[in-house]
Amino acid sequence: MNRVVVRYGELSTKGRPVRRNMEEQLRSNLAAALDARDIDGEVERTAGRLIVETDATDAAADAASALPGVVSASPARAVAPEAETIYDALADLARERADEFDTYAVRASRAGDHPFTSPELEREGGAAVGEAVDAAVDLEDPDMTFEADVRHQVAYVFAERREGPGGLPVGTQAPLVALVSGGIDSPVAAFEAMRHGSPVIPVYVDLGDYGGVDHRARALSACERLAERAPNHDLRPYVVDGGASVDHIADHVDRGRMLSLRRYFFAVAEAIAEQEDAAGIVTGEALGQKSSQTARNLQVTSAAVDTPVHRPLFSADKPEIVERAKDLGTFEDAGISAGCNRLAPDKPETKGRLEGLLKVEPDDIFERAKEDAAGAERVDI
Ligand code: ATP
Ligand code: MG
């Protein structure tokens, strides 16, 4: 193997200049990802694909398939676009992986002028594999699919497609501030924003006596997982010392406490968004997931800020979010104790109304939010 073929999806439907920019963004993201993993390789844009020239095809394919915008990546062998050469390469590949399959199929795709057709390649290529190893053709449900992707000047031969997250490359949208608690939901929500092009600026609010050091640790480790998916963007989180403000809220607000807390979070996030010229706020909230996330309560909390609040998990079910957290690598840490339940009142509000909350909520929480945001430190991860 000497190449990795990297495929992308959505961006191939955009108009030409937009698409060019997006491809260039993905190319530089991938080059940075290889760098971050100490993989030597050159990334090149070719018609509809990125090609990595490298000896470390396995590691490079893993790096590529972690990046937003990538649909799939295949360790491949680049050979001359001639029929016999392609059949030999298919047979070699089949021998290398002989103990991994009993049934197989050969698929070919072709662009350019060649003295052969794709069906011909599939038929003859299939025969070459059959001679090389002891296995049977199964076009319906093969254990392994060998593929030849034949272009003008070169043919790529490969036997696997490692799935990527799809979406759009990070950096093709304006940045967003992501409120990250380190629980199950918020890292997944932040990644959804990244998966559609926005670099995120993570913000973690330390709840003081209501939080804990392990809270902070799990939030930072979630941010690390996010940063790995966009090594050429600045994903260092802001850690906000919210302890005093949270105590203040807890002293004054009982039933609607979690709503005022969220309103304070949003105000902190808005202040940081202004400072960073970010285009909005992302949270891990989902409709009805907990008492602070009823439709009424989302209305009351969103009213705290003018900046748009995005909720990529709005309609996602918990088991689905858990699966995505596992894929992202943030599920394990989310298991660490969730002490902030101490802050929740016995009878939390589920049908919050702004007029009612404003009667008890201290007026100064927004001023405090600005001050707390201004004092926040951006930490290295
Ligand atoms: P998560 O939603 O992160 O899994 P959770 O479900 O325990 O954790 P909620 O109480 O549902 O958190 O909080 C709703 C949203 O508020 C979170 O998804 C996150 O965006 C934000 N949030 C909660 N706590 C914090 C915090 N300490 N710092 C920053 N953002 C937070
Ligand atoms: Mg949640």
Task: With respect to residue 92, please indicate whether it lies within any of the assigned structural domains.
Answer: yes
User: Looking at 111-120, 209-218, 238-247, 304-313, which range is the least confident one?
Assistant: 209-218
Task: With respect to residue 129, please indicate whether it lies within any of the assigned structural domains.
Answer: yes
In this structure, are residues 324 and 312 in contact, taking their beta carbons and an 8 Å threshold?
no
pLDDT of res. 167 = 95
Amino acid sitting at position 380? D
Q: Which two tokens stand for residue 362?
A: 């201290």
- The answer to whether residues 104 and 146 belong to one domain is yes
Give the dihedral sign, CA 112/113/119/121: negative
How far apart are alpha carbons 99 and 102 in whole angstroms?
8
pLDDT of res. 346 = 83
In this prediction, residue 17 has a pLDDT band, given cuts at 50, 70 and 90, of confident
Strands of the chain (E only): list them. Answer: 3-8, 42-46, 49-53, 70-79, 103-110, 136-137, 144-150, 155-158, 162-163, 176-179, 200-206, 238-241, 281-282, 309-310, 377-378
- The answer to whether residues 157 and 185 belong to one domain is no
Q: Which residues pair with 310 in a beta bridge?
A: 282
Pick from 164, 98, 106, 186: nearest CA to 134: 98
- The answer to whether residues 302 and 235 belong to one domain is yes
Mean pLDDT of 29-34: 98
- The answer to whether residues 7 and 82 belong to one domain is yes
Ligand closest to 344 (CA) is 1
Which atom of ligand 1 is found nearest the CA of 240?
28
- The answer to whether residues 242 and 297 belong to one domain is yes
Task: With respect to residue 171, please indicate whether it lies within any of the assigned structural domains.
Answer: no
In this prediction, residue 357 has a pLDDT band, given cuts at 50, 70 and 90, of very high
At 266-294, the pLDDT tens digits run 999 999 999 999 999 999 999 999 888 99
Task: With respect to residue 80, please indicate whether it lies within any of the assigned structural domains.
Answer: yes
At 151-176, the pLDDT tens digits run 999 999 999 999 999 999 999 999 99
Mean pLDDT of 335-364: 83
- The answer to whether residues 136 and 253 belong to one domain is no
- Which residue's C-alpha comes closest to atom 7 of ligand 1? 183
- Which residue's C-alpha comes closest to atom 14 of ligand 1? 285
- The answer to whether residues 258 and 286 belong to one domain is yes
Ligand 1 contact, 186 CB (< 6 A)? yes
Q: Single out the residue in 163, 187, 217 at which a domain terminates.
A: 163
Task: With respect to residue 169, please indicate whether it lies within any of the assigned structural domains.
Answer: no
User: Looking at 38-42, 133-137, 264-268, 351-355, which range is the least confident one?
Assistant: 351-355
pLDDT of res. 372 = 98
pTM, rounded to two decimals = 0.94
- The answer to whether residues 136 and 192 belong to one domain is no
- The answer to whether residues 17 and 85 belong to one domain is yes
Ligand 1 contact, 79 CB (< 6 A)? no
Q: Single out the residue in 163, 192, 222 at which a domain terminates.
A: 163
Ligand closest to 223 (CA) is 1
- Give the CA distances from residue 292 to residues 149, 329, 342, in Å, rounded to whole numbers and listed in that order: 52, 26, 15
Q: Provide the residue range defining the domain that includes 85.
A: 3-163
Task: With respect to residue 282, please indicate whether it lies within any of the assigned structural domains.
Answer: yes
How far apart are alpha carbons 182 and 190 in whole angstroms?
11
- The answer to whether residues 326 and 361 belong to one domain is yes
Test site for ligand 1: of 181, 313, 320, 372, most ligand atoms within 8 A of the Cβ: 181
Q: Residue 126 belongs to a domain with what CATH number?
A: 3.30.2130.30
pLDDT of res. 94 = 98
Q: Residue 285 belongs to a domain with what CATH number?
A: 3.40.50.620
Looking at the structure of the chain, the number of domains it has is: 2
Which atom of ligand 1 is found nearest the CA of 282?
20
Whole-number Å distance, alpha carbon 179 to ligand 1 midpoint, is 7
Q: Single out the residue in 163, 195, 216 at which a domain terminates.
A: 163
Give the dihedral sign, CA 36/37/39/43: negative
Task: With respect to residue 56, please indicate whether it lies within any of the assigned structural domains.
Answer: yes
- The answer to whether residues 185 and 115 belong to one domain is no
Task: With respect to residue 368, please indicate whether it lies within any of the assigned structural domains.
Answer: yes
- The answer to whether residues 202 and 328 belong to one domain is yes
